[in-house]
Amino acid sequence: MHTFIELFAGCGGLSLGLRSAGFKELLANELSPMPAETFALNLMGVDMRAPEFSQTKPSERPVLWLDSDTDNVIERLSDNPFERPQTDMSEVGDAEDLTSRLIVGDIRRLNQFVENRKSPLIHGEVDLVSGGPPCQSFSLAGRRELGNQRNQLPWEFAKFVNYQRPRMVLLENVEGILRPFKEESKTYYAWFEVCKAFASIGYVTRPLLINARNAGVAQNRPRFIMLAIREDLVDLLSPETAEWFEQGKKLIEAVKNDGADYDKNRWTYCDLTTEEWQKHAIDSVFAPLVAFSDESKQHTIEDAIGDLQDENPDAQSGYVTDLNAELGKYLADPSHPMRNRQHPNSTPRVRARFRIYQIIANAPKSIADEIKNVMRGTTDDLSKDAVETLKEGQLLKYDKPVRKSKKGLIAYLSGLSTKKFSQRALRRGGPAPAALSIPDDVCHYTEARTLSVREMARIQSFPDAFEFRGIATTGGLRRRYQVPQYTQIGNAVPPLLGKALGEVINSILDEIKG
């Protein structure tokens, strides 16, 4: 059985996927207490709110804190990880064996602990170190700042890898890491800088762009993946697999000779979202990442959540049955009852607006634009086709009556006036969109409401026995440090994608281990 250490573990999506691919988890690390609580419950069978956990000597607990300013476990579960004091890290230091533990704390502090210890955390050779270091400033949704401290986390990841020297590395990140950005007139490519960091410590890299839907997830979710193999093992690869890592070998030489400036004709990533690369991958060790590239095989939003509707639910799909059968058995409690089903309540006005979003999602663009413009207040007219579309749309009452005349419909839409159209309705019949970390981002495709945590989890391919802990959502300044349930899911690697990545890595490890 192949082994792995998980950094930036979050709530455990990647860990669950790798376990379902046959990996044994030796150690995990997560900064934030809310996803750590979820991870511990589902993947370790540890309820940190149970009295027996608090009553156990700290260094003997399965979950250890690197730094904490309180002995109260319940207080720890809602602390601000960016305000933790630096301590002597006694919980970790006093533990006799760190195998099978979850360490809660900053990766930078964990690296300090390893450096002070002068030996890796796990003795013996580890097959894989995996993780998704957060890189918000490399994200398309946020500012991309070279000096942002979160941008340093991939380099901390590399530092840990250099201490442990696993056979392979898996790094997952947002698609936005592929986009160039400028700092003082110089153009940077974050993905390339990350690959250089691993090349500099003797790892042969293979950067990829993949999409979770091509691995069987009911979501259109492009992700950056970097796989890397320790340099001394690359010559053991089969010729077919070695071809994928040729660029990585050249990058190591370029880094050694100070010739690793970015050149688009020399340094590229494999785009497994394109038909060309999918054909190349299907007969290689990377086949699991494109197994569902045929659209007829892909799963839809209805497959994922149709049976969770409040009214007239569908029968449970084969997609859900398979999730529970293939992934659920790797949880600490496969028979754990399904939780997290409650969805947020909305006012009649908001529900009426959700119904309009559903109409817009299924209308031709010209009609959708007309409706939006009336709601924005930029026009007070509707075409005959727009009127007919609204009449057929089962509009919902709020404090304005639903009148089916043109004038009445314009008044109805004006009463729902908004300049914000970041919200949208899901479209039935296709995969869910990529951005689903905030409950108000989307509404259901038929019911005038937002999605529950369980529905979000289903879309991301979490089995029903997986329970999310912590608060459901948050706001204000607390967004800076709290990781509530919806965000835990949005940040996670979908377990089915983790399983496909695990299968790829298994095949490569089988080659280099003979």
The answer on 349 and 292 residing in a single domain is: no
Q: Which of 354, 374, 333 is nearest to 463 (CA)?
A: 333
Per-residue model confidence as pLDDT tens digits over 286-301: 999 999 999 999 999 9
Confidence of residue 436 (pLDDT cuts 50, 70, 90): low
Looking at the structure, tell me whether residues 361 and 439 fall in a common domain: yes
Structural domain of 419 = 344-451
Asked, for residue 327, whether it belongs to a domain, the answer is no
**50-105: pLDDT as tens digits:** 999 999 999 999 999 999 989 999 999 999 999 999 999 999 999 989 999 999 99
Residue 145 has pLDDT above 80, yes or no: no
Inside any domain, residue 444: yes
> What is the DSSP code (8-state) at residue 118?
T
Which of 255-264, 306-315, 400-409, 475-484 has the least mean pLDDT? 475-484
So what's the pLDDT on residue 111? 96
User: Quick one: pLDDT at residue 179?
Assistant: 86
Taking Cα atoms as reference points, which of 390, 386, 375 lies closest to residue 423? 375
Q: Is 249 a residue whose pLDDT tops 60?
A: yes
Task: Judge if 239 and 374 occupy the same domain.
Answer: no
Number of C-beta neighbours around residue 389 at 10 A: 21
**Cα–Cα distance measured from residue 175 to residue 148, given in angstroms and rounded to the nearest whole number:** 18
- Answer whether residue 237 shows pLDDT above 90: yes
- The pLDDT of 489-493, averaged and rounded, is 94
Share of the chain above pLDDT 90, in %: 79
Region 230-255: mean pLDDT is 97
**pLDDT above 70 for 150:** no
Q: Name the pLDDT band for 112 (thresholds 50, 70, 90).
A: very high
Q: How many helices (H) and strands (E) does the chain have?
A: 20, 13
- Residue 272: pLDDT band by 50, 70, 90 thresholds? very high
Average pLDDT over every residue of 260-281 = 94
Residue 321 inside a domain? The answer is: no
Strands (E) in 313-453, as ranges, are 424-425, 442-443
Q: Determine, yes or no, domain membership for 14.
A: yes
Same domain, 271 and 348: no
71 plus 143 within the same structural domain: yes
Tell me, yes or no, whether 147 and 239 share the same domain.
yes
Q: Please give the pLDDT value at position 435.
A: 67
Give me the helix-helix angle, 13-20 and 495-512, nearest 10°: 50
In a domain, 472, yes or no: no
The model's pLDDT over 178-214, given as tens digits with 9 standing for 90+, comes to 988 777 777 888 899 899 999 999 999 999 999 999 9
Q: pLDDT tens digits for 33-52?
A: 999 999 999 999 999 999 99
Alpha carbon distance 151, 403 (integer Å): 54
Nearest-angstrom CA–CA distance, 98 and 92 = 8
- Asked if residue 336 belongs to a domain, the reply is no
* 3-state DSSP assignment of residue 222: strand
- How many Cβ atoms from other residues are within 10 Å of residue 278's Cβ? 19
Q: Which helix (H) or strand (E) holds 54?
A: helix 51-55
Query: Do 420 and 502 belong to one domain?
Result: no
Q: Are 370 and 499 part of one and the same domain?
A: no
**Tokens 């349930």 — which residue?**
485
Q: Which of 451, 469, 504 is the last residue of a domain?
A: 451
254 with 385, same domain: the answer is no
pLDDT band at 473 (very low <50, low <70, confident <90, very high): confident
Domain count, the chain: 2
Whether 251 is covered by a domain: the verdict is yes
Report the chain's mean pLDDT, rounded to a whole number: 92
Q: d(Cα 378, Cα 186) in Å, to the nearest integer?
A: 41
The pLDDT value given to residue 437:
59
Q: Give me the pLDDT at residue 230, please.
A: 98
pLDDT higher at 399 or 357 = 357
217-221, 411-415, 474-478: which range is least confident on average?
474-478
Confidence of residue 128 (pLDDT cuts 50, 70, 90): very high
What is the pLDDT, as a whole number, of residue 421? 66
Task: Give the β-pairing of 270-271 and 203-211.
Answer: parallel
Q: Are residues 409 and 271 in the same domain?
A: no
| Higher-scoring residue by pLDDT: 222, 437 | 222
**Same structural domain for residues 247 and 192?**
yes
Q: How far apart are CA 498 and CA 58, in angstroms?
A: 31
Q: How far apart are CA 303 and CA 429, in angstroms?
A: 9
Q: Are residues 267 and 410 in the same domain?
A: no
By mean pLDDT, which of 144-153, 400-409, 485-494 is the weakest? 144-153
- 343 near 450, Cβ under 8 Å? yes
More confident: 278 or 436? 278
Supply the pLDDT for residue 138: 45
What is the rounded average pLDDT of the residues 398-412?
90
Nearest-angstrom CA–CA distance, 17 and 503: 10
End-to-end CA distance of the chain: 14
Q: Which of 427, 416, 406 is nearest to 362 (CA)?
A: 427
Residue 45 lies in a domain: yes
pLDDT at 478: 80
Q: Rounded to the nearest 5°, which phi and psi values hold at 65?
A: -100, 135
What local confidence, expressed as pLDDT, does residue 302 receive?
Answer: 96
Which pairs from 158-163 meet CB under 8 Å and 24+ separation? 158/194, 158/197, 158/198, 158/200, 158/201, 159/111, 160/7, 160/107, 160/110, 160/111, 160/114, 160/129, 161/129, 161/198, 161/201, 161/203, 162/201, 163/111, 163/114, 163/115, 163/120, 163/121
**Cα–Cα distance measured from residue 147 to residue 210, given in angstroms and rounded to the nearest whole number:** 27
Rounded CA separation 445/306 (Å): 10
User: For position 135, what pLDDT does the model report?
Assistant: 58
From CA 114, how far away is CA 12, in angstroms rounded?
23
Q: Which has the minimum average pLDDT: 36-45, 239-248, 483-492? A: 483-492
